[in-house]
Structure 1
């Protein structure tokens, strides 16, 4: 650029100089060619005889010479002057043209010879990019859960949308409606200039027809592309995630060292998104020599693409299969229709307490990741994101927020013991209702007949609300001495209101309500903004404003079991193209809650009592071949005003050496003992069987059908049973 600018300046100077020289010469030529008209007397008569002779003179009688006004010298017009000026102008113009051409030729031949030589050499070659296949995603034992396959993809230039004949031919050939084909070509989400995907997984004969009749399909190409393949359908879909085509936003936000091109695919959810930079490979390139028709006549050089790294997860395929299958069978047993079973949605989390590895994570309704390969219709997006279909894309295991219900009693029991509001010897009498405020407005226990006399262990085992109403009142009455937020401060020792840090996007946080939270949340309704004793009482039974996610509950129950808050993770290790481990997840202890060991032991024994002494729970565990004596657990039933109850079940086992923790929720499906406990027991039985070497079954899981009964969420409004 600088050389061209200098050359232009030099050329201008030369032209100006030439013009000046020509003008100077022209001016001199004018001066030397001026003619002067002379008086007749000044003309010499030498050699010329006069016809007048002397007589003539005499006749003149001494006449004087004639005097003429204006007889002094003056210029006379020369007819050649106008022609000369034209020739001069033409000369100036010619000089300017030839000067400019000469200067430009000098610049090209001398100053920019190397640049033009490089450009000429570059035009001789063409570089063809070769996309790299993504790495595999495998379970803990190396079983591929996501792999690659080849797909024939039909692509079209953006302006093909304006060619009605070509769009009609594509529609007829591919069997896709005209307006859909045109809409896909007009979709500029992958970039204004990029080719648009018209169809993926095209038939071989259709691709061959387009290639053989290229003149009938101008601007249309067929490429072989590597796409993701999910051999088990929707298995672990929310963990694995899905991929999508690159957008201009992806190009703009690509991280350092990440090379992205418009026809690449990138992770959009789950592991595919979280570890996209590891799964994506390095592009290959072929440098070729092409003729005038674009045919490759020589391959100059070639760099093969490098496949992305393989990612191994902590998931155990057979256990994951049991959890996914159990959820679908529970909620939508008849033709995949929600409402034909128990509840409308649910989630299961199974975590290894030795390192925080997620053994299984299932969420229902689920989705088939394969539908996001290639073109995704608006109908598909509507199906997977609609409230009417219960939002299959939502990972309820980490993003679902629910009232914790009686699963909270484990933590409020510990809070009461730590603050001195309960002990092993404290007793209560449950009559089925409670009016500790003396207001005349009684609060009911879930067992309206009452539990009779019981201690704190009995309150936990029977999930007696009266016991925990009274504990809440103790915190309220002693708020001046213990602290207004004494209960909340203790609960915050566990990750009940904080991100667990799991390596998946979309994690939500629960809520431990405080007076400050209520004042802020109800600032527009000052009459309801004050924290009252009833708020503390409700919080003690996990109702009111309390919220928790399944992953938070799993990690928190794991902390009760081991005394340590572990960071959950789904990554086990990463292996490069040569199969070498290049990265492994290191277990991380986030915190060790400061809790009296005797109090922990007391509550742990009470949770074991739920498994052994509660007839419903012990029967469920036994049904799945689990000895209730090795399990510590708690059920919960969250109540809603206009919808059915939501059931919870949390457990860990074995009690003497905790290995696994399980947390599950069934949304609007009824009580914890009846709806959630069987689901949790099946998940626990699966992981124990896997360890024993008796579980290896794998199968395909179907994605959501989008079908749901209109009153599905109201079918479990039967009242609490725990």
Structure 2
């Protein structure tokens, strides 16, 4: 519309009387023609100051118009950015009004503040787009696409394009950087670099031009798939051809196989066809790592014509006995290629097994280069060591184009898998599993000076070969999974139990640390204790058994005789001084927390204290809670691993070493990439004199006539110290049997060991756990058991002690 001189209000600027246009014309956009017209008319007649102001403002408007692509003078009207040009109109009108002039007024009129808006630029849109890409915010990226791009590609298709590249190329992260920008009119291009960090192909870096178009007031992205990778031209498909090395083996510390790739033989029998059962058992027992009694138990209740799986053996071992096996009627042999676990699984809860990739983990594994149909480590060392055992995949990443064209994007060379050497001793492990057969419980043997786990047996056990789908014996897996005894549970690390009298080691230590007791503190140990009143009598383990209580004893003798009243009183006295003191010391011994073993799941156990009881039960702590803790009962729960860690620390001088299951990791024929180093996790809070008091008490358990386990170690040449424990089952079953301790042989070629034996719901610690402890010491030092037989292998022994 024509521009006319409006009416004014006036004020003084830089000494000039300037009129403020109030008409609608100055508040609206003006045409290019009127703009030029009024400049040409007013410029000759303006006074010099106003003329200079007009020239400055005109130059500013023209420069702004040329710089800002939205306000280019090549456009027919200044109407695409109303806000910007309204502001320019005000500037021009002020200049024109200055040329007209007017008398001053005494009261100036204050102008309302005029808001300003930044001029959009293509770099801003590009930066937002790339930032969203780095965060995998595909919806955010899509919102910045131009309308034409959004019409051509749906959000679902857009997101799928990026996710397909991520999955195929094994992208783990994206890194971008803006380089430069060029804008011309309503089009722009921003050049950027992008690096796709991938698992299989390393970093894939490209420089790409990002095209943008002006949509209204915003720059938007004109998108195509080659903005992900330039090679992704229309019709192209990203393809990864990968190869991977054979899975590496898991060995024991001596190089004996625990999990190996190769040929195996599934072995079974048909009971009705057996003609020479003794010969069959003699051949199969060493092949399968099971005693003849264990083998017989497998088919004892089977029908004569049933096929009964017995286990699996290495093809090479079967071949060595093939002539004998083929001449034994009733024995069935089936070969298959597999991930094989010798001796029907040595330490299966530790070594683990393979399984198919679950749908929940599929995307995680695909990001690591797996196709999705592999079998991977499910638990234990197989799972923990997956990245070593599976090796590094290699291959090519390319784009398949129409017309059988292939464009290479990236390639990598596969790296061999690395073998994992466990700290376990396979022979000792198998011996532990055999001695536990028929019980529910666990055995752990540690190198007392390093924390290396030599044996970790949990019973009942299971055959990890049954998880192999090609195994002819796999039908037995259903029985394993449905077994109410839960053989998959690692009782050594996941079982949490009351420790019973073994916890008296902690209580004795706390009593000395409290200052209330010393090595020489005497207490008259009888059959009863009434410190909580006549209505709450506590009993010694000797009560009702016809066994005379020890009478006046010191702290060393209290440990050796496992005197309940002594430790009732000690706990009672500490509670009176500070109810939190005993729990605090227990935690310093490693209880109530994870051992950080790492490769297998574990439970933290429980050390109760007043705050815990109040929070858990909304009930106050009472002296009776401390008294129960004094003999390892009440709320206290520990794992066998925590107990043996404590015993190892007592043996080595007080250091709580982190238990470890991996000795080394090494590629074929190469130097180890990892070697076990002892990891101290804490120190027992005892002085050397106090530690020696505890050691003397544990030594007396097995050597003094009053020791609760002396009769179990008679004739054993290896010096042993330890503690019996008989713990009441909170579930109401029979008591749990404990024995934990260490050897003191000091042999240069055989490190001394710490060991724990825990048997669920069988009775006394000295009756069951201590004999097993002795058997394992014999196997460790002598390579086989001596002529000593355990009580259940002969007539019952004399009256047991806790």
- Settle same-fold status: TM greater than 0.5: yes
Match of 2:369 in 1: 259
1:405-420 mapped onto 2 (5 Å cutoff): 405-420=500-515
- Conserved? CA contact 1:228–1:373, under 8 Å: yes
Q: 1:227 aligns with which of 338, 354, 357?
A: 338
Describe the shift of the 1:510–1:285 C-alpha distance in structure 2 as closer, same or farther (beyond 3 A).
same
Q: 1:467 aligns with which of 550, 566, 573?
A: 566
- Conserved? CA contact 1:611–1:617, under 8 Å: yes
Q: CA RMSD in A?
A: 3.8
Q: Report the Cα offset of residue 634 of structure 1.
A: 0.3
1:686-705 mapped onto 2 (5 Å cutoff): 686-689=779-782
Q: Report the Cα offset of residue 594 of structure 1.
A: 2.7
Match of 2:383 in 1: 273
- Conserved? CA contact 2:742–2:754, under 8 Å: yes
Q: 1:130-162 CA deviation, whole Å, 9 max, x = no partner?
A: 44321100011111211112699xxxxxxxxxx
Describe the shift of the 1:456–1:127 C-alpha distance in structure 2 as closer, same or farther (beyond 3 A).
closer
**Equivalent position SS for 2:709:** helix
Q: 1:512-535 CA deviation, whole Å, 9 max, x = no partner?
A: 110111112213xxxxx2211111
1:672-687 mapped onto 2 (5 Å cutoff): 672-687=765-780
Q: 2:496 aligns with which of 375, 398, 401?
A: 401
- Conserved? CA contact 1:430–1:466, under 8 Å: yes
Q: Distance in 1 between matches of 2:602 and 2:712?
A: 31
Q: 1:664-707 CA deviation, whole Å, 9 max, x = no partner?
A: 100001110001111112222222235xxx79xxxxxxxxxxxx
1:458-607 mapped onto 2 (5 Å cutoff): 458-477=557-576, 479=577, 483-523=578-618, 529-562=619-652, 563-607=654-698
- Conserved? CA contact 1:607–1:632, under 8 Å: yes
- Conserved? CA contact 2:708–2:801, under 8 Å: no
**Equivalent position SS for 1:581:** coil
Task: Tell me the TM-score normalized by structure 1.
Answer: 0.61
Q: Report the Cα offset of residue 551 of structure 1.
A: 0.6
Q: Report the Cα offset of residue 452 of structure 1.
A: 2.0
1:108-123 mapped onto 2 (5 Å cutoff): none
1:75-94 mapped onto 2 (5 Å cutoff): none
Q: 2:249 aligns with which of 136, 143, 153?
A: 136
Q: 1:238 aligns with which of 349, 354, 357?
A: 349
Describe the shift of the 1:116–1:682 C-alpha distance in structure 2 as closer, same or farther (beyond 3 A).
closer
Q: Report the Cα offset of residue 433 of structure 1.
A: 1.0
Describe the shift of the 1:306–1:412 C-alpha distance in structure 2 as closer, same or farther (beyond 3 A).
same
Q: Distance in 2 between matches of 1:132 and 1:245?
A: 18
1:632 lines up with 2:725 in the alignment: no
- Conserved? CA contact 2:728–2:736, under 8 Å: yes
Match of 2:259 in 1: 146
Match of 1:217 in 2: none
Q: 1:236-290 CA deviation, whole Å, 9 max, x = no partner?
A: 111100111123322323497x3222111111111001111111123465999xx
- Conserved? CA contact 1:133–1:226, under 8 Å: no
Q: Tell me which of the two structures has the higher relative contact order, counting C-alpha pairs closer than 8 angstroms and 6 or more residues apart.
A: 1
Q: 1:457-507 CA deviation, whole Å, 9 max, x = no partner?
A: 111111010111111111122x3xxx3301111111111111111132311
Q: Distance in 2 between matches of 1:303 and 1:325?
A: 47
1:312 lines up with 2:421 in the alignment: yes
Match of 1:383 in 2: 479
Q: Distance in 2 between matches of 1:462 and 1:232?
A: 41
Match of 2:801 in 1: 721
1:446 lines up with 2:537 in the alignment: no
- Conserved? CA contact 1:383–1:389, under 8 Å: no
Q: Report the Cα offset of residue 228 of structure 1.
A: 0.8
Q: Distance in 2 between matches of 1:564 and 1:282?
A: 38
Describe the shift of the 1:249–1:719 C-alpha distance in structure 2 as closer, same or farther (beyond 3 A).
farther
- The 10-residue stretch of structure 1 (660-669 or 641-650) with the greater mean CA deviation from structure 2: 641-650
Describe the shift of the 1:225–1:127 C-alpha distance in structure 2 as closer, same or farther (beyond 3 A).
farther
Task: Tell me the TM-score normalized by structure 2.
Answer: 0.55
Describe the shift of the 1:546–1:375 C-alpha distance in structure 2 as closer, same or farther (beyond 3 A).
farther
Q: 1:90-132 CA deviation, whole Å, 9 max, x = no partner?
A: xxxxxxxxxxxxxxxxxxxxxxxx9799969x89xx9765443
1:249 lines up with 2:360 in the alignment: yes
Describe the shift of the 1:149–1:431 C-alpha distance in structure 2 as closer, same or farther (beyond 3 A).
same
Match of 2:517 in 1: 422
Describe the shift of the 1:365–1:242 C-alpha distance in structure 2 as closer, same or farther (beyond 3 A).
same
- Conserved? CA contact 1:434–1:444, under 8 Å: yes
- The 10-residue stretch of structure 1 (607-616 or 310-319) with the greater mean CA deviation from structure 2: 607-616
- Conserved? CA contact 2:709–2:801, under 8 Å: no
Q: Distance in 1 between matches of 2:658 and 2:232?
A: 60
Describe the shift of the 1:507–1:484 C-alpha distance in structure 2 as closer, same or farther (beyond 3 A).
same
- The 10-residue stretch of structure 1 (430-439 or 601-610) with the greater mean CA deviation from structure 2: 430-439
Q: 2:527 aligns with which of 418, 432, 439?
A: 432
Q: Distance in 2 between matches of 1:639 and 1:392?
A: 23
Q: 1:9-52 CA deviation, whole Å, 9 max, x = no partner?
A: 9xxxxxxxxxxxxxxxxxxxxxxxxxxxxxxxxxxxxxxxxxxx
Q: Distance in 1 between matches of 2:233 and 2:514?
A: 85
Describe the shift of the 1:543–1:385 C-alpha distance in structure 2 as closer, same or farther (beyond 3 A).
farther
Q: Distance in 2 between matches of 1:488 and 1:287?
A: 59
Q: Report the Cα offset of residue 444 of structure 1.
A: 0.9
Query: 1 or 2, which has the higher strand percentage?
Result: 2
* Structure of greater Rg: 1
Describe the shift of the 1:425–1:225 C-alpha distance in structure 2 as closer, same or farther (beyond 3 A).
closer
- The 10-residue stretch of structure 1 (605-614 or 391-400) with the greater mean CA deviation from structure 2: 605-614
Match of 2:328 in 1: none
Q: Distance in 2 between matches of 1:683 and 1:645?
A: 22
Q: 1:364 aligns with which of 459, 462, 467?
A: 459
Q: Report the Cα offset of residue 364 of structure 1.
A: 0.4
Q: Report the Cα offset of residue 425 of structure 1.
A: 2.3
- Conserved? CA contact 2:447–2:453, under 8 Å: yes
Q: Report the Cα offset of residue 381 of structure 1.
A: 6.2
**Number of positions where the alignment pairs a residue of Structure 1 with one of Structure 2:** 482
Describe the shift of the 1:115–1:540 C-alpha distance in structure 2 as closer, same or farther (beyond 3 A).
closer
Q: Distance in 1 between matches of 2:587 and 2:264?
A: 51
Q: Report the Cα offset of residue 582 of structure 1.
A: 1.4
Q: 1:610-662 CA deviation, whole Å, 9 max, x = no partner?
A: 01015662332246x444xx211001000136211100010111177972100
- Conserved? CA contact 1:279–1:311, under 8 Å: yes
Q: Distance in 1 between matches of 2:441 and 2:457?
A: 8
Q: Distance in 2 between matches of 1:351 and 1:309?
A: 25
Q: 1:533-564 CA deviation, whole Å, 9 max, x = no partner?
A: 11101101001111100111111111122210
**Equivalent position SS for 2:342:** coil
Q: Distance in 2 between matches of 1:450 and 1:358?
A: 38
Describe the shift of the 1:462–1:247 C-alpha distance in structure 2 as closer, same or farther (beyond 3 A).
same
**Equivalent position SS for 2:517:** coil
Q: Distance in 2 between matches of 1:570 and 1:472?
A: 36
Q: Report the Cα offset of residue 420 of structure 1.
A: 2.0
Describe the shift of the 1:127–1:151 C-alpha distance in structure 2 as closer, same or farther (beyond 3 A).
farther
